[in-house]
Structure 1
Amino acid sequence: MGTIEIRRVYEAEDVKGAVFLVDRLWPRGVRKSDLELDGWLRDVAPSDDLRRWFGHRPERFAEFTERYRRELDEHPDAVRPLLEAARQGPVTLLYAARDPDHNQAVVLRDHLLDRLSR
């Protein structure tokens, strides 16, 4: 099993393994030709309603985490490519949010690690 790293899309130099953008929206100021991706997995990102509700407010992160994990559990096919890639080697999840500790990639990484350890 490989490692799963998370990295801000704006700091995506020297990433390891398979690289996936895990935001529903394309990041501002980034040309598609500037990123070497193995996939843009929009469907693994939080729903628009959940994303808007969270609004990157740290005080909502615990509740966001619970709701987002429920969404992930309800759509196992969305995470399948990430699980398969992580079984083969390292994976890097790219996200655009400014806060490195309170974003969907943190929750997604932990969800994937939980699934892989089962």
Structure 2
Amino acid sequence: MTDRNDRRPQPSYPWRELLQRWSDDWLDPVLHEQESPEPFPSAMRETRWLGGRGADAAEIVRLEQRLGTGLPPSYRQFLRTSNDWHATTAPRNSLPSAATSKVTT
């Protein structure tokens, strides 16, 4: 598991900026809507975000416990940014992350 006593600074990964650009590109009606057999949900259009809410620390800890190992810092930061992602290619379903899929309390 992640060493909670490790006080070394962790690099910061720009997940939000990258995923926001991805969302903006896919939600651009000129570029992609005509390719879609069904439109993106209106809530996604309004928020301009294809992701879900970020995982909280407890969800990530439970995932690490379930897996029996710590997650890399970059993936932990990714999960804190978005805990699931709307598929951009057919079939259009939500792609749950490991932090939410099959994790129960």
Q: Which bracket does the TM-score occupy, shorter chain normalised?
A: under 0.3
The structure having more radius of gyration, on CA atoms, is 2
Greater length-normalized contact order (CA 8 Å, ≥ 6 residues apart): 1
TM-score between both structures, scaled by the size of structure 2 = 0.25
TM-score, normalised to structure 1, is 0.24
Question: Greater share of helix residues, 1 or 2?
Answer: 1
Structure with higher strand content: 1
